[in-house]
Structure 1
């Protein structure tokens, strides 16, 4: 579960948004309030907030989002328990609060609004409210046996590693079995294996590298593996073509039927990698020794 929090000054507008019937909004939690519509709730908030006119951002706004697989099956009562436990974690049990569920998107989420001003007129300390909201949501998730942000991030990281490895293996297979000599033939061979190679074009309309799109993921070439930077890929293609000296490498390249100019950094990177590959080949074959 993810928790986000901030201090706001537009109380009425926010509560009206939370109560938005077009988003199938439903009240799941209410504390120290008697109102039955956004205007009444806002007035009750303001009645307490008038005790502390120095505090301008006098309402706390939180969003609590269980992971989609868990949230879609949550009942009104369960979401109310999420809000109640979260407020306890944030030490806001004695403040006015109201929470709404929105089920209008792919994931169910709760909008929780809490009066920052207590009945004693003191303003709640909102230092590091965003980070504290994350930690409180983590604790609530653990208490209720829900998936935490750290668990989601860990699983996502594992999936990223798996996908990057698959792209790298496909790339190596293409280079070994087909030895493409042009960028177009390399892109085609990768596409036949369900990997899209997307040219990265800078503001000057020059080619500066590549991205790989595979199974819904999109990575810079160097993010897949350092051996797959744009410069190294182009150097390999150039060698396959028979170019073994940087001086033979032009500043333009044919890409999908068009002549594309390369950025200076990209061309320099290709040249450096051609030199490295040439030296390595010489050493491996014993030339000069």
Structure 2
């Protein structure tokens, strides 16, 4: 089961999407609400939201998706229970909320909209809400005996074990030739039929790579930890340096243009540099008292 979540300001439009009959929408959850249309529910939300008018993104939007296999067998009552348990895991029991099931696609999923302002006027903190939604959905799946994302991922990695080993071997062979840029690395991987696909976040910052080989597309970290973005960037950056790097780069050349690195990958590279420094000190004994 997968969970996604974020705070929004377009309450009525989002509720209208959730209630879309073309998507075979069905209401499976109502908490502290009486209305029967998007407009009525929006007005009920506004009454509570008027307690804290400084909060702009005052509605929480979630999508909870059981696996395709689980979704085929879940009744409306079952899906309502999923939505209720999800809200409990997200600590939203004291908030207005409504949940809709969409069955217009093979993948049955639930749209949940919750008032960010509680019945007593507190603003729900939305920091890391996407990650917390994932954890909450996984906990609900575990409680209700559904297939968990971690199990699906593990099965996927087991299935492609030989494939992963082949890509890792090609990666290591290419690194032994000491490519001095990412473009050179990508070109040499392509010569071995491995397509390296840069992965960018919404801010167009580089946060890693995916690798496509024999029709299978996997993240670098799914193949081997040595193929995570920070490891590759650090190794290649050092190939191109006369002296060892002293700090993590903020940007680099990729596909004939300068790209910014994500904060996450910069921090990981910085940690790797610290570990390298400590290892060199221990190996050489420099600065150590006896």
Confirm or deny a common fold (TM above 0.5).
yes
Q: Structure 1 residues 157 and 224, CA, compared in 2 at 3 Å: closer, same or farther? A: closer
Question: 2:23 aligned with 1:18, yes or no?
Answer: no
- Aligned match of 2:112: 112
Q: Residue 60 of structure 1 corresponds to which residue in structure 2?
A: 60
Structure 1 pair 154/35, CA: closer, same or farther in 2 (3 Å)? same
Which ranges of structure 1 fall in alignment gaps of 5 or more residues?
Answer: 169-196, 202-209, 226-262, 264-289
Q: Secondary structure at the match of 1:91?
A: coil
- Give the number of the structure whose alpha-carbon radius of gyration is greater: 1
Residue-by-residue CA offset, 1:166-193 (whole Å, 9 max, x unaligned): 899xxxxxxxxxxxxxxxxxxxxxxxxx
Give the corresponding residue for 2:32: 32
The answer (yes or no) to whether the contact 2:142–2:148 under 8 Å persists in 1 is yes
Is the contact made by 1:3 and 1:64 (CA closer than 8 Å) also made in structure 2?
yes
**TM-aligned CA deviation for residue 147 of structure 1:** 1.3
* Cα distance in structure 1, aligned partners of 2:55 and 2:44: 17
In the TM superposition, 1:196-207 aligns within 5 A as none
**TM-score when normalising by structure 2:** 0.59
Aligned alpha-carbon RMSD (Å): 3.1
**CA–CA separation in structure 2 for the residues paired with 1:145 and 1:70:** 10
1:92–1:224 distance in 2 versus 1, CA, 3 Å:
closer
Question: Contact conserved, 2:59 with 2:113, CA < 8 A, in 1?
Answer: yes
Match of 2:83 in 1: 83
Structure 2: where are the runs of 5+ without partners?
169-192, 198-210, 225-254, 256-290
Secondary structure (helix, strand or coil) at the match of 1:72 reads: helix
- Per-residue deviation, 1:164: 4.5
Map 1:28-177 → 2, pairs under 5 A: 28-164=28-164
Name the counterpart of 1:275.
Answer: none
How far apart, CA to CA, are the structure 2 residues paired with 1:224 and 1:4?
25
State the shift of 1:218 in Å.
4.0
CA contact (8 A) 2:96 2:115 kept: yes
Q: CA deviation at 1:199?
A: 7.9
Q: Aligned runs of 1:205-220 on 2, under 5 Å?
A: 212-214=213-215, 217-218=216-217
Alpha-carbon distance, 1:162 to partner: 4.1
Cα gap change, 1:158 to 1:117, in 2 (>3 Å): same
| Aligned equivalents of 2:218, 2:139: Cα separation in 1 | 33
CA, structure 1 residues 70+224, in 2 after alignment: closer, same or farther (shift >3 Å)?
Answer: closer
Do the aligned partners of residues 110 and 224 (structure 1) sit closer, same or farther apart at CA in structure 2, a change above 3 Å counting? closer
